[in-house]
């Protein structure tokens, strides 16, 4: 039985075909493509029409290989959205969450509504690019297209709509907006009213595994395709990645590692209390009626931006060559909080790391290797603090950490994470989001009875690399210094780095 999974990240997308047979799950990459934002003037957009084109290309390539998937699903990043007119037409290219027009709106809203009030209604962490603040910024700038808008769709909802003509909001991505109320089980009408946005734009929220239409007749006729069902999977890519965590125990911690790092655990109910608010944790929807208690960590974005900068400056370097330089750079020389707001916008990250080090009285990185080492060490140390907070909030103690996503190909980061947390790290699978996407499709078809049967199949189908902690005394000393430098835990109502 084959299914097609589209997994769209902030830098690239992929179409992966999955086969489920007696040997387990087998996957084959069909199509990989760039996902680069487009800057027009001062505004940064997603090239959503190009993404739709690449989705269609994936279907064509699948057909050329003689495959007819029984269903397909799309997952992507959260918070960003498109607006449709009353005629069902897209009103402009969606904005990128890093667009500067949204800067400062979270602080404005928090002067009008308390963080406690918003958190009690949504359970979502405070990030300056959450959909709540994006919409508020557009409304207060009198963005003209808002007058024509009749329907709100998140990015995977929108791409699914292009394929099917059916406008449906999916649960896991809806919860990332900070506009969904998990206690009431629907969009929060009070918050929408406060920012002046019509609740009529927002449709019924469906759970992962819901069939949300089939390929439009126009697409089938143009490309000679079958009426393939389109499933609303766990459409937030982290929700799909968590489905793919090959855990055997019901109590487990995960780290979905890529442009962003997202660490947390899976629970039956959200944890909405003063402590989770103070630590700026989030309670996003998961597959199977679960919630993902987790925290966003800036992730490999900082390193990716450094590499882009070096490329622009004519000093480009391969990932392998950079990691070789990292290993010879002095350890723990330059530590910083990856979640400091200094590192959120695109730009000259090496200069910002030096700026942070000057501010905290540390040695400034002098070359590419020492800058990259500072990033990877700081991430690994941040992971320990977030893992400890996750244990505290969930009332659990984890025997180790499951790492999934493309970031696990950085073996140095996996080993340093094990060193930092003092527990084993189990790394794999790398294509976690795509595999979780497939798993939800197979659950929807009845091929798996539930998420745990799917995880058992994933565990037996994909290699898992185990990293045991090393150099404990060195990493413990570095962690104590990291905590002093970064002044955590956060002492503000909405947490640090937001």
Q: What percent of the chain has pLDDT over 70?
A: 98
Asked if 66 and 434 count as a contact pair (C-beta separation under 8 A), the reply is: no
Mean pLDDT, rounded, for 457-473: 97
As a whole number of angstroms, the distance between CA 169 and CA 235 comes to 10
pLDDT for the residue 498: 28
Local confidence band at 11 (pLDDT 50, 70, 90 cut-offs) = confident
493 has pLDDT over 70 = no
Q: What would the pLDDT profile of 357-414 be if each residue is shown by its tens digit?
A: 999 999 999 999 999 999 999 999 999 999 999 999 999 999 999 999 889 999 999 9
Q: Which two tokens stand for residue 415?
A: 């080993």
Residue identified by tokens 């699978």 is: 429
pLDDT for the residue 10: 84
Could you give the C-alpha distances from 432 to 174, 209, 395, 407, in angstroms and in order?
21, 17, 26, 11
As a whole number of angstroms, the distance between CA 398 and CA 249 comes to 10
SS3 assignment, position 99: coil
Quick check: do 2-235 and 247-427+468-498 share a fold? yes
HSE-CB for 155 with a 13 A CA cutoff: 34
Local confidence band at 491 (pLDDT 50, 70, 90 cut-offs) = very low
DSSP bridge partners of 14: 7, 32
As a whole number of angstroms, the distance between CA 135 and CA 102 comes to 9
Q: Can 237 be counted among the known catalytic residues?
A: yes
CATH architecture of 2-235: 2-Layer Sandwich (3.30)
Total number of residues shown for the chain: 498
What's 77's DSSP letter? -
For the chain, the domains span: 2-235, 247-427+468-498
pLDDT for the residue 487: 80
Which distant-in-sequence residues (6+ apart) come within 8 Å of 478 by Cβ? Answer: 331, 332, 335, 377, 381
pLDDT for the residue 354: 97
Residue identified by tokens 């413990």 is: 476
As a whole number of angstroms, the distance between CA 406 and CA 434 comes to 11
As a whole number of angstroms, the distance between CA 240 and CA 256 comes to 10
Q: Which two tokens stand for residue 439?
A: 């798993």
Q: What would the pLDDT profile of 25-45 be if each residue is shown by its tens digit?
A: 999 999 999 998 999 999 999
As a whole number of angstroms, the distance between CA 457 and CA 247 comes to 11
First CA to last CA distance, the chain: 44
Asked if 195 and 139 count as a contact pair (C-beta separation under 8 A), the reply is: yes
Local confidence band at 1 (pLDDT 50, 70, 90 cut-offs) = confident
Mean pLDDT, rounded, for 6-10: 94
pLDDT for the residue 489: 38
297 has pLDDT over 60 = yes
As a whole number of angstroms, the distance between CA 240 and CA 432 comes to 7
404 cis-preceded (ω within 30 degrees of 0) = no
How remote is the C-alpha of 163 from its chain's centroid?
Answer: 23
Among 237, 268, 337, 340, the active-site one is: 237
As a whole number of angstroms, the distance between CA 211 and CA 263 comes to 29
pLDDT for the residue 326: 98
pLDDT, averaged across the chain: 95
As a whole number of angstroms, the distance between CA 244 and CA 459 comes to 9
As a whole number of angstroms, the distance between CA 7 and CA 436 comes to 10
DSSP bridge partners of 231: 73, 211
Q: What would the pLDDT profile of 139-184 be if each residue is shown by its tens digit?
A: 999 999 999 999 999 999 999 999 999 999 999 999 999 999 999 9
Local confidence band at 488 (pLDDT 50, 70, 90 cut-offs) = very low
Mean pLDDT, rounded, for 80-88: 97
Q: The domain 247-427+468-498 is classified under which CATH number: 1.10.1060.10, 3.40.50.2300, 3.30.420.40, 1.10.260.40?
A: 3.30.420.40
């Amino acid at each position: 039985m084959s299914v097609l999974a589209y997994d769209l990240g902030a830098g690239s997308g992929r179409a992966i075909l999955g086969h489920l047979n007696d040997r387990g799950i087998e996957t084959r990459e069909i199509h990989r493509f760039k996902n680069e934002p487009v800057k027009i003037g001062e505004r940064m957009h997603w090239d959503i029409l190009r993404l739709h084109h690449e989705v269609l290309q994936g279907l064509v390539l699948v057909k050329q290989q003689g495959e007819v998937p029984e269903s397909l699903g799309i997952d992507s990043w959260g918070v960003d959205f498109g607006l449709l007119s009353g005629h069902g037409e897209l009103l402009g290219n969606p904005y990128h969450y890093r667009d500067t027009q949204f800067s400062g709106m979270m602080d404005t809203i928090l002067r009008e509504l308390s963080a406690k009030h918003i958190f009690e209604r949504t359970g979502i962490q405070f990030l300056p690019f959450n959909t709540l603040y994006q919409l508020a910024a557009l409304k207060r700038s009198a963005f003209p297209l808002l007058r024509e808008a009749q329907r709100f769709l998140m990015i995977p909802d929108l791409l699914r709509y292009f394929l099917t003509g059916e406008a449906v909001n999916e649960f896991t991505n809806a919860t990332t907006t900070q506009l969904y109320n998990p206690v009431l089980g629907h969009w929060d009408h009070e918050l929408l009213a406060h920012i002046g946005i019509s609740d009529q734009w927002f449709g019924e929220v469906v759970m992962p595994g819901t069939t949300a239409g089939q390929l439009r007749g126009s697409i089938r006729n143009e490309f000679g395709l079958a009426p393939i069902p389109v499933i609303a999977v766990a459409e937030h890519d982290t929700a799909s990645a968590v489905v793919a965590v090959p855990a055997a125990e019901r109590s487990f911690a995960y780290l979905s590692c890529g442009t962003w790092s997202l660490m947390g655990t899976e629970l039956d109910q959200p944890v909405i209390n003063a402590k989770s608010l103070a630590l700026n944790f989030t309670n996003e929807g998961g597959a199977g009626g679960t919630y993902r208690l987790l925290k966003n960590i800036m992730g490999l974005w900082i390193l990716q931006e450094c590499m882009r900068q070096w490329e622009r400056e004519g000093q480009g370097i391969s990932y392998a060559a950079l990691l070789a330089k990292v290993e010879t750079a002095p350890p723990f020389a330059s530590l910083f909080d990856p979640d400091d707001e200094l590192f959120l916008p695109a730009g000259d990250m090496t200069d910002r790391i030096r700026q942070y080090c000057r501010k905290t009285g540390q040695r400034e990185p002098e070359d590419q290797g020492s800058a990259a080492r500072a990033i990877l060490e700081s991430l690994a140390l941040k992971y320990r603090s977030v893992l400890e907070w996750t244990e505290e909030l969930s009332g659990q103690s984890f025997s180790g950490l499951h790492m999934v996503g493309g970031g696990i190909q950085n073996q140095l980061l996996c080993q340093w994470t094990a060193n930092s947390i003092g527990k084993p790290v189990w790394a794999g699978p790398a294509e976690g989001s795509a595999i979780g996407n497939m798993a939800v499709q197979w659950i929807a078809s009845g091929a798996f009875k539930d998420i745990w049967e799917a995880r058992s199949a994933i565990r037996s189908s994909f290699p898992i690399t185990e990293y045991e902690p090393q150099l404990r005394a060195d990493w413990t000393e570095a962690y104590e210094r990291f905590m002093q430098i970064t002044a955590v835990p956060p002492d503000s109502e909405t947490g640090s780095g937001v």
